[in-house]
Structure 1
Amino acid sequence: MKISGLKEYVYQELKNKLIMNQFKPGERIWEEHLAEELGVSRTPVREAINQLVAEGFIENRPRKGIFAAEITKDELRKMLDVRLALESLAIKECCKNITEEEMKDLDAIYHTFAKALEDEEYNKASQWDSEIHRFIAQVANNKKLAAYVNDIQDVFAYTRGYNIKWTKEKADRSIREHKKIIEAIKSRNEEVAIEIVRKDIDSMRELLSEE
């Protein structure tokens, strides 16, 4: 594997570990341990860490070491307006471009998400929640927009495990709201879909306001 390929491999592996909360916020990350675990030298590990520092997932604390980033609820609340703007544009373009086959794919992702929530598998549900929004952005057929949506979804996926506490009531509400979003997209009714997303994000704002 080439060096650039190694860096990408390590980057994806480490980012997945962070998003899956295998490293808790504030936990020390050791270059040498990662290199040994992944079977690579420390150079691609260091390069991947530097990239994740730039993206805000890792903090480099002088004279202390490398740590999984601690993203606060206040920081997340400030990101919600950006998320709403991005997802609104993605929905608008998705409603124009989505095909019958893509509608079936979106339905399948939704049902997997809903089943995970019904089974109280909240980590799994969170992954499929992100996948719904990533898929909508992908169908929008705008690579830059999809990249921005992916980035912000990654941040919320990383923090969801420790900043948002699910309950049965919240899970049921999320299932209903996502179903309405998808039905509106399938009807190509962008105004309704965007309004539901706005309410969904307002619900998230409430969750982030709770102690």
Structure 2
Amino acid sequence: MKKKPIERHQTLREKILETIRDAILRGTLKPGEKVAEPELAERFGISRTPIREAFRQLESEGYLTVIPRKGAVVTALSERDVKEFYAIKAILEGYAARIAAKNLSDKEIERLEAINERLQQLADEGDVKSFYRTHNEFHELFIRAAGNHKLAELINQLVVKFNRPRMASLSLPGRMQISVNEHSRLLEAFKARNGEQADNLVRKTASLGGQLLIQSMAQEEGRAVDPAVLEQIVDV
């Protein structure tokens, strides 16, 4: 009896989160635009408390910025933000891949292969949301295998702030397939227990990921996507 209200509240909260995430990813809510609490409260027939809780969650994920006495607005990122993010991500994840190459068990490598096979299926289906979740599973597995809890914590704190733009970038033509190919190369390095190669691959793909994300942001803003960048990445 006591569990029902909790279950209902969690379900409702997830609906609010999904509604706002989808609106931002579709471009219905644009960077800098305010997300109105009263409209959401009326739509879901609830008080503003669970909406504010959802706003805090979305802020931690990088979708919203909550401004005191003004409310929540869709987070706007600059190209500098993206470049700085990927510079740090490349170093941290590259180091994790270097250590993981020595620590991964055969069973864990098999699991990584299975995840990448699933990613190929999702890429073929064009399922961006499921692809993004599964893509994160791949990275989380080898980061855990590095055996450094502080490192894993730092990476998680960093990437969670860029959930929205990273997911949006997957909608670019060919982006999901590129990711699958990158993982295949990384898996070969893991199988060879080549930490240096794994590190270099992760750093290189992080740099390319940053370029793609900048192109995704240009697309969101209605600016032309640079085909030369996409061709360069596909050829890697």
Question: For the superposition of Structure 1 and Structure 2, which TM-score range results when normalised by the shorter chain?
Answer: 0.7 to 0.9
Give secondary structure in 2 for the equivalent of 1:81.
helix
Aligned partners of 2:45, 2:107: CA distance in 1, in Å?
41
Structure 1 residues 153-162 or 90-99, which shifts more?
153-162
Structure 1: runs of 5 or more not aligned: none
Does structure 2 retain, via aligned residues, the 8 Å contact 1:21–1:161? no
Q: 1:138 to 1:30 in 2, by over 3 A?
A: farther
Aligned partners of 2:95, 2:54: CA distance in 1, in Å?
31
Following TM superposition, by how much is the alpha carbon of 1:201 offset from its aligned partner in structure 2, in angstroms? Answer: 1.7
Alignment partner, residue 166 of structure 1: 172
Does structure 2 retain, via aligned residues, the 8 Å contact 1:127–1:157? no
**Alignment match of 2:151 (pick from 140, 145, 153):** 145
Give the residue type in structure 1 aligned to 2:149. K
Q: Write the mapping of 1:164-203 to structure 2, written as runs, cut at 5 A.
A: 165-168=171-174, 170-203=175-208
Following TM superposition, by how much is the alpha carbon of 1:154 offset from its aligned partner in structure 2, in angstroms? Answer: 2.6
Aligned partners of 1:79, 1:61: CA distance in 2, in Å?
22
Q: Write the mapping of 1:1-211 to structure 2, written as runs, cut at 5 A.
A: 13=14, 17=18, 21-23=22-24, 24-26=29-31, 28-30=34-36, 42-43=48-49, 46=52, 49-50=55-56, 53=59, 56-163=62-169, 165-168=171-174, 170-210=175-215, 211=225
Larger Rg belongs to: 2
Following TM superposition, by how much is the alpha carbon of 1:165 offset from its aligned partner in structure 2, in angstroms? Answer: 4.5
Aligned partners of 2:70, 2:197: CA distance in 1, in Å?
49
Q: Report the TM-score, using the length of structure 2 for normalisation.
A: 0.67
Following TM superposition, by how much is the alpha carbon of 1:109 offset from its aligned partner in structure 2, in angstroms? Answer: 1.2
What are the superposed Cα offsets for residues 112-155 of structure 1, whole Å, 9 maximum, x if unpaired? 11221123323332332222112211222222222222233333
Q: 1:55 to 1:165 in 2, by over 3 A?
A: closer
Structure 2: runs of 5 or more not aligned: 216-224, 226-236
Does structure 2 retain, via aligned residues, the 8 Å contact 1:90–1:136? yes
Name the Cα RMSD after superposition.
3.6
Moved over 6 A (4+): 32-41
Give secondary structure in 2 for the equivalent of 1:77.
helix
Q: 1:97 to 1:156 in 2, by over 3 A?
A: same
Q: Report the TM-score, using the length of structure 1 for normalisation.
A: 0.74
Does structure 1 retain, via aligned residues, the 8 Å contact 2:63–2:163? no
Give secondary structure in 2 for the equivalent of 1:67.
strand
The number of equivalent residue pairs is 206
Does structure 1 retain, via aligned residues, the 8 Å contact 2:34–2:74? yes
